[in-house]
Structures are given as structure tokens and as C-alpha cells.
A = this chain, B = another copy of it.
Amino acid sequence: MDVSAYLNEKAARTEEALEDYFNSWNGAPPQLADAMRYSLFAGGKRLRPGLVLGAAEIVSGDDAAALPAACAIEMIHTYSLIHDDLPSMDDDDLRRGRPTSHIVHGEALAILTGDTLLAMAFDVVSRAGNAAVVSEIARAAGVEGMAGGQVIDLLSEDKQLTLDELRRLHAYKTGALIRVSVRAGAMLAGTDTEALEALTRYGEHVGLAFQIADDILNVTGTEEALGKPVGSDVAHKKSTYPGVVGLDEARRLAEASTDEALHALEPFGAEAEPFRALARYIIERDS
């Protein structure tokens, strides 16, 4: 199973849908639309759209119904990166090998670009006509989700977190959006409760494995592969899995989460093969 090809195919269809959406605007200020495109079409892994569309495919054999959620969640992910990189936040100049939004467009336009991506994400996803999915995505981005996690992160700088505190931080900051990716995909495609619960567990464990692997790569990766400086977590005095439990134990925790993710997929047959490969890929990748 070629995971990169799988993600690339889902990424291409998500990007096509995003292009169509951008082209549907008549009166957008061009500078704002360009700044949105600059960050949105910056060649990310598109892990979240892959999870949205993949979950839809597993439960129904077809992922088309889930495209609005794939677009919306990638827009929300992109907004969060733009705001994370701001001078008053992580103050990062480089993202995916390119100057960050505020370096190119100035701070004010970068803030508004993030704001706009966040707002418009809810236009995109609401077009799927499922208000429960809108609500879940909003909460995953909100006070008990990504933004809440950002605040915990902000308040934790210079502090040594316990493993439990670190788990909570990441469950909010990155876990919630990954979890809701899987759920939104399954819900939009039509799912029974049992499959939704199994996929939710998969999303939770894969999200955790992804975050631990990210923390590890921030120590052991190369700037060339990552597109950003190695060791930026240490520079920002962030608590990380290698920092809290050591590199070996972090690797063990990532593998344990991957095992749990695979275990969650047991109710499924061959249709879940891509998600099994994806769970392994997440801790084996180099960027």
C-alpha cells in the first residue's frame, strides 16, 4: 500500500474542490484571496483531508459526500498554522520551506487571512447540509479543542509539564481536529454508531501517534525534510514527548498508540487497509 499515493490522490481532489470554492467568489479583495491561497496551497501533507475522505470511503465505499468537510478542516488547519507563526505566538519565519504568512503579507493581513480561512471553513462545511458535523468541527477548533490547546501551550512555556498535562495539551491542540476529521468523514458518508465509535478511537490514537512522532522529528529530523528549523520546540521552550519522557520512551509511546489505532480497526476488513498503512506511515515518516 503506497500511503503517499493514497494521500496525494485525496489531496488532489480536496485541492480541486478548494479551487472551485475560491473561484466561486465574485467580490473578494484579491490581496486577501491571494494570501489565503499562499498558505492553503503550500504543499502540506494533507493528512486531515486524507482522514476525512478515507473514513467516508471505509463506511460507504465513496468519499464524495465528505469533500466539504475535507476542505473545511484543511482551511481550519491552515488558519491555525498562520496564527501560530505570528510574532506574538511562535514568531516563526519559515513554514514548509517558505516564508510564513506575516513575513510575506505583514502581520495585519496574516491575522485577517487566518480569520477568513476559519470563517469560510464553516461556509464550506455547512453546504453538506449536516449541522451536527458543523457543530463537531467548531468544537474541535474551539475552547475545548485546537484554540484551547494553543492557550494551554502558551501558558505552559517555560514550564515542565507532566505526561498527563502534555497529553491533555496535545489532545486539544492537535488531537481534536484529527479526531473530528475521521468522524466528520464517516458522518457525512453515512455510518452506524459502531463504525463511528471504532473510527473515533482510531482517530484519537492516530492523532496521538502523529503528535509524538512530530515531537520526535523536531529533535531527530533534518531541516531540509521538515521545511523548518530542527529543534524549534527547544528554542520555544515547549514541552515535548522526548523532553518529558526521553526519546526512547517517546518512541515506545508512539508505537503503542499506533498499535491501539490498528486495534481499533479490527471490526473492519480490507476496506480499512489504507488506514492501517496510514497509521504505520505516521510514525515512520521523515517530515
A residues near B (Cβ < 8 Å) are 25-29, 31-33, 36, 76, 79, 83, 86, 88-89, 106-109, 111-112, 114-116, 118-123, 126-132, 134-135, 137-139, 141-148, 150-152, 154-155, 172
Contacts and interface: CB of A to CB of B under 8 A. Distances in A.
Given A118-B118, A148-B32, A109 B154 contact: yes
Contact of A151 (B112, B139, B147): B112
Nearest to A144: B27
Given A131-B129, A131-B131, A109 B29 contact: no
A146 B112 CA distance: 10
Contacts of A138: 119-123, 126
Contacts of A86: 108, 111
A135 B141 CA distance: 17
Contacts of A31: 151, 155
Given A115-B115, A119-B141, A151-B32, A108 B88 contact: yes
Contacts of A129: 131
The interface centre, meaning the residue of A27, A115, A127, A145 with most chain B CB atoms within 10 A of its CB, is A115
A257 B154 CA distance: 46
Contacts of A147: 32, 112, 115-116, 119
The interface centre, meaning the residue of A25, A79, A112 with most chain B CB atoms within 10 A of its CB, is A112
The interface residues of chain A, by DSSP majority, are classed as helix
Nearest to A123: B138
A104 to B, nearest CB: 14
A118 B114 CA distance: 11
A126 B115 contact: no
The interface centre, meaning the residue of A114, A134, A137 with most chain B CB atoms within 10 A of its CB, is A134
Nearest to A130: B131
A170 to B, nearest CB: 14
Contacts of A146: 119
Given A108-B89, A134-B126, A155 B119 contact: no
B123 A27 contact: no
Contacts of A126: 126, 131-132, 134-135, 138
Given A123-B139, A142-B119, A112 B29 contact: no
